[in-house]
Amino acid sequence: MFGLAPRGAHGLLALVLLLGACVQPPVDPSPDPEPPAAAPTLPDLTPGVWTALSPGGETTCSDGSPYTFFVRPGTVNKVVVDFEGGGACWNDGTCGPNGPYQPNLAASMSARYREENPTGLYDKSNPENPVRDWYHVFVSYCTADVHLGDSVETYTTPQGERTVYHKGQANVRAVLAWMAEHFSAPEAVFVTGCSAGAYGAALYTAELAAMYPEADVSQMGDCGAGIIPESFVQEGLNRWNIEGALPAGVDLEEGVPATFLADAYVVIGQQFPEARLSQYNSAFDGVQIAFYARMLERNLQDPEALQEVAEAWFTGLVTSLQGIQVELPSFSSYTSLLDDNDDLQDGTAHCLLFRPEFYTLVTSEVRFVDWLGDLIAGESGQTVFTPLPEALEPPVAVGASR
């Protein structure tokens, strides 16, 4: 009987072997599939119209009145950030009630862009408009500090003491905070602005590029070249307290430099090499030259003095554009002789963004709207400079177009 298994043992052994064959080592469950990416958030606004938004808080106009900005919805996940122009003031002579700036939004140039038949960049019905379908954020301007200030100053004018709130930084950053909340991930951002707005468009491009690192960023400053004398640094820039608006990397060891705008273009371009930075100017911009004369305290009614100022400003323009391009080869510019009254003796036209000529201007066989469209699309980095009449030959040679 030895060697015989007990009754039922064969069946039990078979069952154990069968169960053993069926048991596998534990395997980690497969990870859950990644959820689909959330759709980008966009502001819910009435289509086809500008919506006024008042952020409150520390925002203000130069006279202490409330600040408002405007947004027009688009149909694509792309956004224009557009800084309004409107002069500036910096001393007793310029900060009076009749100074060259808009103290509040009561008579704001914003109306120009919201009128029934807008032109230029604001004509959303024109098929040639490179941003016709984009959302459009209009950064209104009323702080007399080219959007860069953070100070409150009291000036003594013929009408008495006048307190001016140079709070451009607070206003702009309120707009950017609203954008961060309502535009989660735009595909593209185009930053622009006319005159005083061109300074905001240049400086705050750094913050927008950092805020939207995946966005395709392009920028064009319209007739705000940053040509200022050394004397204006103390009287204007320091009085406005603009350091908080400058991108990290601008050399402030000896204070804000007179070349702060050109320096900022280079620094921003180096920090964000994918961003495409540019300027448009008219070669003898009557408004930029007049402000340069005010900074130098030259008599605007003296033709000889004004001619000297115009030549100095033009030299500064060419030197600045060339200097930026040497340090930042991706930078491009378009300089024209656009004149809105056929009289070059009083200078060339100031700003292009809002003009019908936005679509018709041709310089050196390059149409402006095509140049801008290529810039926004990332297809070109061409620099265009107008040939000058013999009587207006530049005192500094201009590099050939690239």
Delimit the domains of the chain by residue range: 50-392
| pLDDT for residue 253 | 81
Give the percent of the chain with pLDDT over 70.
85
> Which residue type does 57 have?
G
Instruction: Write down the CATH number for the domain with range 50-392.
Output: 3.40.50
CA–CA distance, 145 with 168 (Å, rounded to integer): 6
3-class DSSP assignment, residue 339 = coil
Q: For the segment 321-330, what is each residue's pLDDT rounded down to a tens digit? A: 999 999 999 9
Q: How far is CA 236 from the centre of its chain?
A: 21
3-state helix, strand, coil in the chain (%, to 5): 35, 20, 50
3-class DSSP assignment, residue 327 = helix
Tell me, letter by letter, the H, E, C secondary structure of 356-399: HHHCCCEECCEEHHHHHHHHHHCCCCCCEECCCCHHHCCCCCCC
| pLDDT for residue 3 | 39
- What the block records as the tokens of 181 is 């909340």
Q: 155 with 204: CB under 8 angstroms?
A: no
| Residue 348, phi then psi, degrees to nearest 5 | -95, 170
pLDDT at 265 over 70: yes
Give per-residue burial for 106-133: e unless 16+ CB within 10 Å, then b: eebbbeebeeeeebbbbbeebeebbbbe
CA–CA distance, 99 with 113 (Å, rounded to integer): 23
Residue 378: partners with Cβ closer than 8 Å, 6 or more residues away: 216, 218, 276
Q: For the segment 235-260, what is each residue's pLDDT rounded down to a tens digit? A: 999 999 999 999 999 989 889 999 99
